[in-house]
């Protein structure tokens, strides 16, 4: 015999079921709380990876020192804060500025990492501009195809 599944918040029915027990509520996986946790987790994880990477490049196969660890932690913190700031403020902008902000962030992040290797400032700047241009094109295309003419996201 088939029975319907109990909904969250409704008492369980049937033989042997206590009248006061309710079905467990299912978590809202795609709710605002989950997105907030994911946003913070992504920023922290990317910041730690970026900081470790910057410290490893800066160390240049030498010994790990306290200054090197401090450099990595400060770099991770700054990256995470800037990433959260871009995630917070970029969606409030029109798609052109939204794309430009992500492109500037990506270009600066890449340029800083590349400059830790000891190459010239000109080479670091040129490669950063190439990366920023690629990110600008990709993000503008994405926002252009996922928004209407007034800048509202399509359903």
For the chain, give the mean pLDDT: 85
Q: In sequence order, what DSSP letters do the residues of 27-73 get, joined into one string?
A: P-TTSHHHHHHHHHHHHHHHHHHHHHHHHHHHHTTS---HHHHHHHH
Kindly report which listed range (8-22, 52-66, 121-135) carries the lowest average pLDDT score: 8-22
The pLDDT of 18-46, averaged and rounded, is 78
């Amino acid at each position: 015999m088939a029975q319907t599944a109990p909904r969250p918040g409704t008492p369980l029915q049937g033989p042997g079921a206590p009248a006061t027990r309710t079905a467990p509520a299912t978590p809202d996986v795609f709710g605002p709380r989950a997105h907030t946790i994911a946003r913070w987790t992504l920023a922290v994880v990317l910041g730690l990876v970026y900081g470790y990477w910057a410290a490893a490049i800066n160390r240049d196969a030498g010994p790990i020192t306290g200054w090197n660890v401090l450099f990595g932690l400060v770099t991770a913190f700054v990256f995470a804060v800037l990433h959260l700031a871009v995630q917070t403020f970029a969606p409030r902008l029109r798609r052109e500025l939204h794309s430009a902000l992500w492109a500037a962030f990506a270009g600066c992040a890449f340029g800083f990492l590349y400059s830790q290797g000891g190459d010239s400032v000109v080479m670091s700047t040129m490669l950063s501009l190439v990366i920023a241009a690629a990110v600008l094109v990709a993000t503008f295309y994405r926002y252009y195809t996922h928004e209407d003419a007034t800048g509202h996201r399509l359903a």
